[in-house]
Amino acid sequence: MAELATASVLNRVAALGTQRWAVHFMGRQRALKDPDFIELTIGEPDLPMATDLIGIAEQAMRSGRTRYSVGKGEPALLEALARKYSARTGRDISPAHFLAFPGTQAALAIVMQGLVEAGDAVLVPDPNYATYEGVVRMTGADFVPVPMDAANGFRLTADQLRDAMVPNAKVLLLNNPHNPTGAVLSREAVSEIGSVCREHGLWIISDEVYETLIYGHLFASPFDEAALADHTITVSSISKSHAAPGFRSGWAAGPPWVMDRIQPLSEALLFGNQPFIADMTVHALDHPGTVGAQMAAAYQKRITTLMKAFERSVLKPLKPQAGMFMLVDVSATGLDGEAFARRLLENGVSVMPGTSFGTQAASFVRLSLTVPEDRLLEAAQRMVAMAS
């Protein structure tokens, strides 16, 4: 019997899902059989989330906060977000600026659907997070990489953006702090990039999920710049800041008029997030706690350990300025990132090949900092031994 027809969107995203995580899944299978196998592929915080957040979610469920949500987001959550962003920007940010979503990924996908379609183009710095291409292509829009330079620490520049500009460009998908590179853009750089976007009439979608995990640098957002705020929709969540990825609690912030336009689309797909999780998120936003600071301290220490472990090796680490990952240049081994990552599986370690994040990182692998320091050091020593 012939297969029934399906929508063209499935063809557009067909090669953009689990295929990019093939090395991760191969490593996971080995880890199930070998307790000494070390997984460094995904960025899942290894510190537990604060117990008070769990208690608040439990109390909310027991008090009946398990009914349907409000499509825009629970009022208390929108108020908490308004407090956070008013303090951050120094402007009067109201609940009308926000929509609540189950995680940053959902926020990205729905906001993108609300801004572009077939015939449009989205500019995306390369390297980029592995889901970004799928988020763009599902809309029918063109995915246009903006090549970044490893020699500049993979930090996007206004000139690189200008060079990649195409006539049908409508959105820049910006990620700052950046995954997978750990690069951080200065306020000056964000302003220059934003000026190019204003010049060409582009929206900026700014993924800021690593806002709180910055090491020795200042966070900068186009949403915080009054001259760029009307061009910007920022997305974030408590997944990284509060070690709570499984709760899927995120949001988008932007001009109220476009949030109103996107809301029916969001409601058609999701209709808000769970009330008891919203209650927990309110507490998380109003009481940052110590988990974020503990994670940042742990990751900085692990970065130092890795830099020392690789210092006499042909493997060349790119020291991250933020986040929970490190890129390592493996080109001196004669292998590209994909070949190196697959061979490393035989040595009991899984890392992500740079090609999972675009073409510019093809000679790199990405490793996660979210394992205990002794295990991370052991993984680095296995990498060095394989490269020798």
Taking a C-beta distance cutoff of 8 angstroms, is the pair 206, 171 a contact?
no
Question: Which whole number is the average pLDDT over 179-207?
Answer: 97
**Chain position carrying tokens 């049908």:** 168
Is the pLDDT score of 304 beyond 90?
A: yes
Cα gap 101→78, rounded to integer Å: 11
The proportion of the chain whose per-residue pLDDT surpasses 90, expressed as a percent, equals 88
Cα gap 330→341, rounded to integer Å: 10
Distance of alpha carbon 173 from the chain centroid: 11
Angle between helix axes 337-345 and 373-387 (nearest 10 degrees) is: 110
pLDDT digits (tens, 9 = 90+) for 272-293: 789 999 999 999 999 988 888 9
Alpha carbon dihedral 309, 319, 338, 108, in 10-degree steps, equals 140
pLDDT digits (tens, 9 = 90+) for 72-111: 999 999 999 999 999 999 999 999 999 999 999 999 999 9
Yes or no: domain 12-41+291-387 corresponds to CATH 3.40.605.10: no
pLDDT digits (tens, 9 = 90+) for 227-246: 999 999 999 999 999 999 99
pLDDT digits (tens, 9 = 90+) for 21-58: 888 899 899 999 999 999 999 888 888 888 899 999 99
Residues 6+ apart with CB under 8 A from 137: 12, 13, 16, 143
Q: What is the CATH number of domain 52-286?
A: 3.40.640.10
Is the pLDDT score of 312 beyond 70?
A: yes
pTM value is: 0.95
Q: What is the pLDDT of residue 288?
A: 85
Is the pLDDT score of 2 beyond 80?
A: no
**Chain position carrying tokens 């189950």:** 102
User: Parallel, antiparallel, or unpaired: how do β-strands 121-126 and 142-147 relate?
Assistant: parallel
Q: What is the pLDDT of residue 1?
A: 66
Strand-pair partners of 124:
145
Cα gap 74→68, rounded to integer Å: 10
Taking a C-beta distance cutoff of 8 angstroms, is the pair 65, 279 a contact?
yes
Question: Which whole number is the average pLDDT over 340-359?
Answer: 96
**Chain position carrying tokens 């001196």:** 332
> For the chain, which residues make up each domain, given as ranges?
12-41+291-387, 52-286
Taking a C-beta distance cutoff of 8 angstroms, is the pair 122, 170 a contact?
yes
Q: In what order do the strands lie in the sheet with 352-353?
A: 316-318, 325-329, 364-368, 352-353
Nearest to 174 by CA among 115, 108, 120: 108
Residue by residue, what is the 3-state secondary structure of the chain? CCCCCCCHHHHHCCCCCHHHHHHHHHHHHHHHHCCCCEECCCCCCCCCCCHHHHHHHHHHHHCCCCCCCCCCCCHHHHHHHHHHHHHHHCCCCCHHHEEEECCHHHHHHHHHHHHCCCCCEEEEEECCCCCHHHHHHCCCCEEEEEECCHHHCCCCCHHHHHHHCCCCEEEEEEECCCCCCCCCCCHHHHHHHHHHHHHHCCEEEEECCCCCCECCCCCCCHHHCCCCHHHEEEEEECCCCCCCHHHCCEEEECCHHHHHHHHHHHHHHCCCCCHHHHHHHHHHHHCCCCHHHHHHHHHHHHHHHHHHHHCCCCCEEECCCECCEEEEECHHHCCCHHHHHHHHHCCCEECEEHHHHCCCCCCEEEEECCCCHHHHHHHHHHHHHHHC
Nearest to 197 by CA among 224, 162, 146, 145: 162
| CB atoms closer than 10 angstroms to residue 26 | 15
Is the pLDDT score of 164 beyond 70?
A: yes
Is the pLDDT score of 357 beyond 80?
A: yes
pLDDT digits (tens, 9 = 90+) for 136-160: 999 999 999 999 999 999 999 999 9
Question: Which whole number is the average pLDDT over 350-366?
Answer: 96
Cα gap 5→49, rounded to integer Å: 45
What's the mean pLDDT when you consider all of the chain?
95
Q: At residue 177, what are phi and psi to the nearest 5 degrees?
A: -60, 155
Nearest to 209 by CA among 108, 290, 281, 141: 108
Q: What is the pLDDT of residue 107?
A: 97
